[in-house]
DNA sequence: GTATGGCATCTAATCGATTAGACCGGAGGA
DNA sequence: TCCTCCGGTCTAATCGATTAGATGCCATAC
């Protein structure tokens, strides 16, 4: 593997001149410039990233923290992040925390080692606040994407979860439902909380008292949502919720399957909605009505913002709220055309 | 940000001693050891990765190349890779090539810059062979996972695609089908080719002549598979294939939806199978019979092998073939129990 | 009392880039 | 003719770690 010295020797110039040519940092006479370029080609030279990074104190790498890349919410966001990063010459470290603070600690450590120049955090728990704040205190760029973390002084790109909750509830209300349940996420999830708040607001506006049993927290996964739906299915038909809004599409799939297993027809006996608009929500056999979350856009904007932050002096924190929209399909029974 | 010199000064020892304590490379007296540890804690010291990397010529990072992380095949594999890497103290660079050779070139460049110590490649095209071989020629560790690349002298962890093709075809044959089609992937995909080869072998063993129109190459995506199924649906019922094997589950979803749109019942009018066993294949509304590909295991073993390669002298190339298995659900009509 | 050896620790070279500041030669002005 | 200035290029310091080899101290042996 050749070094800058080899190039300098081969081209008959100094290492400084080689560096000037490679980085375009000073004028170099055409003749020497050409000799440098030729030497680079001939020796197939690629500069060493560690040496460069040590000197200029940057790694040209950003970190992306997700709780679990195999959760279908994240791949689109991760893709956006990588697309943008590539474009700007940055690499992406992917870190799955599995919601363990230990993993977040490792990520923060990578930041302090200088392995990454900035961090995009899609899932930060309460327990991670102090850790992330310690980075921010050192002026290390951190952008929250998707999930906010109250009390953390970082940039935030999120979608309009409150509006999403309203949209969902109003859709059900417009279809004539009154007993509308909301299968929320785990207690303390700010995403879930905002969506529930929107739902509650819409219900209030409609003059409906929301029964405690209608808002059931739990894991936004298939299995747990399935179980929660089974509870509803076992209630008497005249008290059972006629509409179920789910905090995630994956959870909605569990609800759909539980309903079918219990002999309830969708949408005749129960209307079902999700959140996210995953690819699978569009399948003909599913056709889930849902609130679309702009996942790619979340990742794109978070990465653009992070890269803007890197190297720049501290600026005003940004808080971007992306619009969401209702995607009407079949599971609430109101599809317009092709049924 | 403090450096090793600060720690040395603070603890009243030399930088060498600090390094010995931190890396456990030489005996250090308990008293100095403790002073070093105290200084590290007090100054909140974290060693600089670039400086270390420059000196010892390693980045403790590996690269993972996928064609597109938003293709649901890859997240499980990527997760496995990251899980194993974390465990060994390595970070993971995720690189989406989108099947563009340009992106592969960037990845190879990262390797040569020393940004990564090894590379896991899940999708290498013919066009990438030379590039990857150039890495191997420099003794840079490369492991192919999932997709082989003929003529490349690298380690390979794949699943038994040939056996999978046989399993699928035999299942259809056992159910009494004779006109069995195989919607394959794009021409030149070795994964698809092996699966088709297994299918052809099973058909041969059953004494059935496979019509050219039964093996339709195309993109293994939803839309393209949908279109191909439409073609079949338009054939006369007595010549139309009664069974469709798909090279991917996502493609099978397209087939399922096309069949439904054309008024064909599954499995009564057409039996449908996929490959992969994605999470969505298990949904009640889908219940896709498929050949399970051990995605997590693929990623796990590839990463373990890669890490074994890194730093070790050149050893014999390994070729691991993981077993696949048939997952019988509803789309071929032979489900045993809970239908 | 001096020589020997071993052990803990130190000094300084090194990795491969970037870049501040020195240097040198030629042009232009006095 | 001499001085100044400027532009092109060079030398060498620097980033922060690791580690080879030097050093100095102390115990033991003669």
Q: Tens digit of pLDDT for each residue in A93-103?
A: 999 999 999 99
Name chain A contacts of B283, Cβ cutoff 8 Å.
253, 256-257, 280, 286
Q: Is the pLDDT of residue A336 over 50?
A: no
Residues A38 and A66 in one domain: no
Residue B128, domain member (yes or no): yes
Residue B1 touches chain A, beta carbons under 8 Å: yes
Residue-by-residue pLDDT tens, chain B, 339 positions? 899 999 999 999 999 999 999 999 999 999 999 999 999 999 999 999 999 999 999 999 999 999 999 999 999 999 999 999 999 999 999 999 999 999 999 999 999 999 999 999 999 999 999 999 999 999 999 999 999 999 999 999 999 999 999 999 999 999 999 999 999 999 999 999 999 999 999 999 999 999 999 999 999 999 999 999 999 999 999 999 999 999 999 999 999 999 999 999 999 999 999 999 999 999 998 999 999 999 999 999 999 999 999 977 677 899 999 999 999 999 998 654 333
Query: Are A222 and A176 contacting, i.e. CB atoms less than 8 angstroms apart?
Result: no
Residue A333, domain member (yes or no): no
Residue A329, domain member (yes or no): no
Residues B38 and B148 in one domain: no
DSSP state of A179: S
Using DSSP, state whether B295 is helix, strand or coil. helix
C-alpha B77/C-alpha B75 separation (Å) is 5
Residues B179 and B109 in one domain: no
Q: Which residues of A5-19 are buried (b: 16+ CB within 10 A; e: fewer)?
A: eebbbbbebeeebbb
Residues B151 and B166 in one domain: no
Domain with residue B251: its CATH number is 3.40.50.2300
Q: Is the pLDDT of residue A134 over 70?
A: yes
Q: Tell me the residue range of the domain where B151 lies.
A: 57-159+295-323
Residues B216 and B229 in one domain: yes
Please name the member of B53, B103, B260 whose beta carbon is closest to the beta carbon of A50.
B53
Residue B139, domain member (yes or no): yes
> Of B240, B269, B274, whose CA–CA distance to B255 is shortest?
B274
Residue of A nearest to B134 (CA): A44
Residues B182 and B104 in one domain: no
Residues B205 and B280 in one domain: yes
Q: For residue range A16-58, what is the model confidence (pLDDT) as tens digits?
A: 999 999 999 999 999 999 999 999 999 999 999 999 999 999 9
Domain count, chain B: 3
CA distance A205 to chain B (A): 35
> Of A188, A215, A27, A167, whose CA–CA distance to A99 is shortest?
A188
Please name the member of A106, A114, A257 whose beta carbon is closest to the beta carbon of B283.
A257
Q: For residue range A87-132, what is the model confidence (pLDDT) as tens digits?
A: 999 999 999 999 999 999 999 999 999 999 999 999 999 999 999 9
Residue B25 touches chain A, beta carbons under 8 Å: no
Please name the member of A69, A110, A286 whose beta carbon is closest to the beta carbon of B79.
A69
Residue B218, domain member (yes or no): yes
User: pLDDT over 90 for what percent of chain A?
Assistant: 95
> Of B118, B163, B121, B129, whose CA–CA distance to B146 is shortest?
B121
Residue A26, domain member (yes or no): yes
Residue A223 touches chain B, beta carbons under 8 Å: no
C-alpha A322/C-alpha B267 separation (Å) is 43
> Of B299, B318, B309, whose CA–CA distance to B140 is shortest?
B309
Residues A229 and A130 in one domain: no
Residue B329, domain member (yes or no): no
Interface residue of A52, A53, A139 to substitute, partner B, most B CBs within 10 Å: A53
Residues A263 and A285 in one domain: yes
Domain with residue B29: its CATH number is 1.10.260.40
CA distance A52 to chain B (A): 8
| Contacts for B227 with CB less than 8 Å, ≥ 6 apart | B218, B254, B258
Q: Is the pLDDT of residue A158 over 70?
A: yes
Q: Which residues of B72-110 are buried (b: 16+ CB within 10 A; e: fewer)?
A: bbbbbbbbbbbbbbbeeebbbbbbbbeeeeebbebbbeb
> Of A92, A103, A104, A96, whose CA–CA distance to A61 is shortest?
A92
Query: Are B152 and B126 contacting, i.e. CB atoms less than 8 angstroms apart?
Result: no
Residues B270 and B299 in one domain: no
- Kindly report the backbone phi and psi dihedral angles of residue B93, in degrees, each rounded to the nearest multiple of 5, phi listed first: -90, 120
Name the β-bridge partners of B91.
B61
pLDDT band for position A247 (cuts 50, 70, 90): very high
Residues A149 and A238 in one domain: no
Residues A155 and A167 in one domain: no
C-alpha B137/C-alpha B133 separation (Å) is 6
Q: Do A49 and B286 touch (CB under 8 A)?
A: no
Q: For residue range A33-42, what is the model confidence (pLDDT) as tens digits?
A: 999 999 999 9
C-alpha A268/C-alpha A285 separation (Å) is 16
Instruction: State the average pLDDT over residues A321-337.
Output: 85
Residue B138, domain member (yes or no): yes
Q: Is the pLDDT of residue A199 over 90?
A: yes
């Amino acid at each position: 593997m050749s070094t800058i010295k080899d190039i300098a020797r081969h081209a008959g110039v100094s290492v400084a001149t080689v560096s000037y040519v490679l980085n375009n940092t000073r004028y170099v006479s055409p003749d020497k410039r050409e000799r440098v370029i030729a030497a680079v080609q001939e020796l197939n030279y690629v500069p060493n990233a560690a040496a460069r990074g040590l000197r200029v104190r940057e790694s040209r790498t950003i970190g992306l923290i997700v709780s679990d890349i195999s959760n279908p919410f994240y791949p689109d966001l991760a893709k956006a992040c990588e697309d943008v990063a590539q474009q700007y010459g940055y690499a992406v470290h992917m870190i799955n925390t599995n919601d363990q603070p230990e993993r977040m600690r490792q990520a923060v450590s990578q930041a302090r080692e200088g392995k990454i120049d900035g961090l995009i955090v899609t899932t930060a728990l309460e327990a991670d606040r102090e850790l992330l704040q310690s980075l921010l205190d050192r002026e290390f760029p951190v952008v929250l994407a998707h999930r906010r973390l109250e009390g953390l002084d970082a940039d935030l790109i999120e979608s309009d979860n409150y509006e999403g909750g309203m949209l969902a509830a109003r859709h059900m209300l417009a279809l004539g439902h009154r007993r509308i349940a909301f299968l929320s996420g785990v207690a303390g999830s700010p995403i879930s909380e905002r969506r529930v708040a929107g739902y509650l607001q819409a219900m209030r506006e409609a003059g409906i008292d929301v029964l405690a049993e209608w808002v059931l927290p739990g894991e936004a996964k298939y299995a747990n949502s399935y179980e929660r739906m089974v509870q509803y299915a076992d209630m008497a038909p005249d008290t059972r919720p006629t509409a179920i809004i789910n905090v995630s599409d994956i959870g909605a799939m569990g609800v759909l399957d539980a309903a079918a297993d219990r002999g309830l027809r969708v949408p005749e006996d129960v209307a079902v909605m999700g959140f996210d608009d995953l690819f699978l929500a569009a399948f003909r056999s599913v056709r889930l009505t849902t609130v679309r979350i702009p996942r790619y856009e979340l990742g794109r904007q978070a990465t653009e913002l992070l890269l803007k932050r890197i190297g720049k002096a501290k600026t005003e924190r940004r808080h971007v709220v992306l619009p969401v929209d209702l995607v009407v399909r079949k599971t609430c029974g109101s599809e317009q055309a092709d049924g």
